[in-house]
Amino acid sequence: MIEDIIKIAKEAGEIVRNGFGKNLEIEFKTNESNLVTQIDKKSEAFITDFIQKKFPGHGVLGEEGASIKATSDYTWVVDPLDGTTNFAHGVPIFSVSIGVQKNGENVAGVIYDVMRDEAYSAELGGGAFCNNKKISVSQNEMMQRSLLVTGFPYDIADNPNNALDIFVQLVKVARGMRRLGSAALDMCYVAKGVFDGFWEVHLHPWDICAGMLIIKEAGGRTTDFKGAKMDIFNRQILSTNGKIHNQMLDIIDKCTTKK
């Protein structure tokens, strides 16, 4: 199945690439920070149509409204364009993310970095890859040598889960901090050893399903902010190389439990 997922992610990526820099029809979801374009919708429709034809009975959960109830053990969790704000503003950092669950467990995932033509992929128990080359997380154990990455939710003005406080405390102790604008690619870069850790709040299943498996298969660790096992519906996520995980948990805990 993984070759099919890579193939369809790349083909959806071609739709996205062809729409980049063109006239866009922009709509707003929850607020003026939460965009959707006709390219998001076109990409999702293309992926959904492929799934229905190639894997009838498989369910679909998509960011732009695709919702097909599974009559088998499998559900595809699809973000047809992760990084829509970047895409709409001409920033060439965005991706197509497709995760597959079997009975609620992440078993396959592909994230396609559209403009760099890099396909990150993983199958449960089979390792993680970028363009078929095996990747792994960093071996750094020190916060002060860590390069971290994060994103902010659309309701950041409300400071959910003390997200701003966490950022302030972590930026004080890390070597550096980045904010790329695509959670899926943030997670790929942790898996590849570029970043040592990633955290964010108020993400959705399609943002993290594929990335969670890719990080796991690259040797990393993902939990919620209390260190508990994650599922794709959790609204807090911490993904690291595993070696700085507890250090980040300690800092996050002090921020989220403060009065």
Q: What is the mean pLDDT of the chain?
A: 94
Going by pLDDT thresholds of 50, 70 and 90, the confidence category of residue 28 is confident
Whether the pLDDT of residue 55 is over 90: the answer is: yes
What domains are defined for the chain? 2-135 (3.30.540.10), 143-256 (3.40.190.80)
Please report the pLDDT score of residue 195 as a whole number: 98
Whether the pLDDT of residue 259 is over 60: the answer is: no
Whether the pLDDT of residue 198 is over 50: the answer is: yes
Q: What is the pLDDT of residues 60-108, one digit of tens each?
A: 999 888 888 889 999 999 999 999 999 999 999 999 999 999 999 999 9
Q: What is the pLDDT of residues 102-161, one digit of tens each?
A: 999 999 999 999 999 999 999 999 999 999 999 999 999 999 999 999 999 878 888 888
Distance between the two ends of the chain, CA-based, in angstroms? 48
Q: What is the pLDDT of residues 216-242, one digit of tens each?
A: 999 999 999 999 999 999 999 999 999
For the chain, percent of residues with pLDDT exceeding 70: 97
Going by pLDDT thresholds of 50, 70 and 90, the confidence category of residue 31 is low
Please report the pLDDT score of residue 32 as a whole number: 61
**CB 144 within 8 Å of CB 173:** yes
Please report the pLDDT score of residue 257 as a whole number: 76
Please report the pLDDT score of residue 29 as a whole number: 67
What is the reported pTM? Answer: 0.95
Please report the pLDDT score of residue 156 as a whole number: 84
Whether the pLDDT of residue 35 is over 80: the answer is: no
